[in-house]
Amino acid sequence: MARYFFHLNQCGSVTADLEGLDLPDLSAGRETAITAARDVMCGELLNGALCLGCHIDIADAKGHVLLTVRFIDAVHVTGL
């Protein structure tokens, strides 16, 4: 198990994850970030807005960003 930190980058503002989660691998971290991004987007939609340019950086315990999950990659957009 490794500890991963999920830092939310939302329209220029960063909310750092100070606790992190113990997960088996980075793939599980990616799935966690996708779920978190979808949760944030649901809240945005309820307020009548949505920014697909936001993202979540997944970092290790040393602070190195291992992967970035963009909001636009967490959903399938149709009808544009």
Domain count, the chain: 1
39 falls in which pLDDT band (50, 70, 90)?
Answer: very high
34 CB neighbour count, 10 Å cutoff: 16
Q: Which amino acid belongs to residue 4?
A: Y
In a domain? residue 79: no
Percent of the chain topping pLDDT 90: 95
80 falls in which pLDDT band (50, 70, 90)?
Answer: confident
| DSSP alpha helix (H) spans, the chain | 26-46
- Residue 30's domain comprises 2-74
In a domain? residue 20: yes
The pLDDT of residue 36 is above 90: yes
In a domain? residue 80: no
The pLDDT of residue 57 is above 90: yes
